[in-house]
Amino acid sequence: MIRCKNLTLKYKQKSIFKDFSLYIEDRERLVVVGESGVGKSTLLRVIAGFTPLDSGEIYIDNQLVTKDRDIIVPPNRRGIGMIFQDLALWPHLDVQGNIAFGLKIKGVPKYKRKEIVEEMLNMVGLQGYENRNIDRLSGGEQQRVALARTLALSPKTILMDEPLSSLDKAQNIKLRREIIRLQEDLKFTLVYVTHNEDEVEEIATERLYLK
C-alpha cells in the first residue's frame, strides 16, 4: 500500500502538485496519464524517494518514508524498483552484468547472483543472452533486460516511466502483455506512466488522469 497525503511541490515557481493525495492498493496496476509537464514522471520520482516535496507525506505499508523535504527512507530501502524511459542500462556491462548490478551492490554472493540472473533471463525470455553486449540488442530486448534487472531485486512495487514509448507497435503490444503476465504472476504493485491510450486500456486496473 502506498499513500500520498497532501503533496505540494513547485518547480521554478510552477506548481506541480498542490495538496495532492493518492492511495495505491497492493497488486494494483495504476496507469498515470496526462499531458507533458503535468507531473507524471515527478510523481514516480517522489514515490521512489528521488525527489523531495515542499510539503506532504508519503507512506509505504503504513511507514512514513517522506515528510516535506525530508527523505526519511532512502530509495534503496523502499522495496521499489523503477524503470526509466531511457532504461538507464550500463553500456559497458553485458546482459548478465546489467541484471546482476543491483544484486552485487547489495552484497549478494556471486553464486546466488548467477542463479538469480539465470532465473530472470528465463522469466523475460532472454535465455542464452547473458554474454550479449547491450548495444547489440534490439529495443525490445533492452526493455526485457531493464525489466529483468528490476525484477532481480524482488521489489514489492515497480514504477515505469513510459517504458515502451520507443518501440514499434508490434513490440509494444508484445512487451505490455509480458508486463501484465509478470505482474500477475509475481503479484507486485505497478505504477505505469504512458501517453498511449492502448496501453491504458490493456494494462490499467485503475487510472489516474493528471491535469
Q: What is the mean pLDDT of residues 148-156?
A: 96
Q: Under a CB-based contact definition with an 8 Å cutoff, are residues 29 and 56 in contact?
A: no
What pLDDT band is residue 11 in, cutting at 50, 70 and 90? Answer: confident
Q: What is the mean pLDDT of residues 112-126?
A: 96
pTM: 0.94
Which tens digit of pLDDT belongs to each residue from 63-95?
999 999 999 999 999 999 999 888 889 999 999
Average pLDDT, the chain: 95
**Dist. CA 96–CA 130, nearest whole Å:** 5
Which tens digit of pLDDT belongs to each residue from 33-65?
999 889 999 999 999 999 999 999 999 999 999
**Dist. CA 9–CA 57, nearest whole Å:** 12
24 DSSP β-pair partners:
2
Q: What is the mean pLDDT of residues 116-120?
A: 97
